Amino acid sequence: MSDGGVHRVAMRVSPRLADRNPALVKISPRWAATVDVRRQGLRWQLDLRDNLQAVLYYAGRYEPAVRRFLLHELRHGDVVLDAGANIGVHAFTAGKRLKELGGGRVIAFEPAADMVAKLGAGAARNDVPLEVVPAALGERPELATLRTDSRYDEADAGVRSLYGDGDVVQEVSVVRLDDWAREHELDRLDVVKLDIEGSESAALTGATRTLKRLQPRALLVEDKRSDSSARLHAVLDECGYLPTGEVLDRNAVFRPELTG
C-alpha cells in the first residue's frame, strides 16, 4: 500500500474524526480484540481497538517513511534508542535490521506496563534483540500519571501521555536519559527516535549531556505541537543539532551541526 493509502486507513480508524468521517471503521470491544498476523516481515498480536495496531493490520504498515529511514540509516554495530516504543513497530524494525547487518543494540523506553509486556513478548516471538526500559524519559526523575486521551477510546494506547485529559492508566517512573546513561555506562548512541506525545522537549532537556557526549548521527523527533516546538528546537540547537528539513510521518530529522 502507498504512503497515501496508509494515511487514508489511519483517517478511517480514528474516532477523533468520526464527525467528518462517515466511513469510520472502529472495532467494537465486544468483538475479538486480538488477532495474530504477519506484517512487515514480523509476527504480531494486534489489538484492533487501538488506532496504531488497526492501521498496521489494515494497511500492512505504520509510519512507512520512518521505517524506510531506519532500514537505510542503520549500520552494523549501531545503538538505537526508541523512546515511546509502544508495541515495537520501529524498535522491532531496527532490531531485525541490525540482526541482518551482523549486530547492534536497540533500547526501548516505554512506561506503560501492558505495552512493556507486548514488547517483551514480541521480541521473543520474532527473535529480535531488544532491551526494554519500563520508564518514561523526562526532564527530572519523578513519578507521574499516565492518562488516556479523551478524544480516543480507552484502548488507544498510542495516544496515552503524561499530559492526557482522560482516565488514569497507571503511575509511571520518569527518568532523565543523562542519569540512565551514566548509571548504565552507555558509551555509544547512533540513532534516536523520540515520539512521546508532547513530552519530547522535557525528554531532550534531560538528555543534553548524553547528546553532546555521544553525538548520535540522527534524531527523529515528533514535532507537531506548536506550543512546544520553539523550546524543542532551542534545546536541540544547544546540543549542536540542526533540522535537515526532512519530516517523516510528522517526525522531524535532526543531525549534528558539524556533520551537516
Residue-wise pLDDT for 199-245, tens only, equals: 899 999 999 999 999 999 999 999 877 677 889 999 999 999 999 99
By the 8 A CB rule, do 129 and 88 touch?
A: no
By the 8 A CB rule, do 164 and 153 touch?
A: no
Taking only the tens place, the pLDDT of each residue in 160-213 is 888 888 999 999 999 999 999 999 999 999 999 999 887 899 999 999 999 999
Residue 20 has pLDDT above 60, yes or no: no
DSSP reduced 3-state for 208: helix
Q: Which residue from 50, 49, 25, 54 is spatially nearest to 39, judged by alpha carbons?
A: 54
By the 8 A CB rule, do 215 and 254 touch?
A: no
How far is Cα 56 from Cα 54, in angstroms, rounded to an integer?
Answer: 5
Give me the pLDDT at residue 260, please. Answer: 43
Sign of CA dihedral 141, 145, 149, 150: negative
